[in-house]
Amino acid sequence: MLKILANRTYRHLFLAQVIALVGTGLATVALGLLAFDLAGAQAGAVLGTALAIKMTAYIGVAPIAAAFAERLPRRAMLVSLDLVRALVALALPFVTEIWQIYVLIFVLQSASA
């Protein structure tokens, strides 16, 4: 595996993907903690719904994203999706309602599909 990292282009793509996945994972954890903070005693139901939305986004959006990925320039698409994930992270401090968490989780996971 280390031989492939000698290729400069692949190394950059690999590192960018690792950073994006770590960021997406941390954003998912942050959204879960925010849901817990906002929901109080109902946190279990909120987190269960949030995780169901996460999986629904993966299952529902992945086939559509694959169709777009075949037709659009890959680099532009990857950068655009990273920007969407960054916007979700920037929106976190402004979340005050549980439904906003659900929307952000759906958008975040859709951009990651």
What is the per-residue pLDDT across 79-98, written as a single tens digit (0 to 9) for each?
888 899 889 888 888 988 98
pLDDT in tens, 12-21: 888 988 988 8
CB 92 within 8 A of CB 19: no
Residue 84 vs residues 17, 32, 50: alpha-carbon distances, Å: 15, 19, 19
CB 39 within 8 A of CB 48: no
Cα–Cα dist 97/58, whole Å: 23
What would the two tokens of residue 50 be?
């949030």
Instruction: Calculate the dihedral angle through the C-alpha atoms of 62, 68, 74, 76, rounding to the nearest 10 degrees.
Output: -110
Residue 106 vs residues 3, 17, 19: alpha-carbon distances, Å: 37, 20, 20
Tell whether the model's pLDDT for residue 1 goes beyond 70.
no
Q: Strand ranges (DSSP E) for 6-107?
A: none
The pTM score is: 0.76
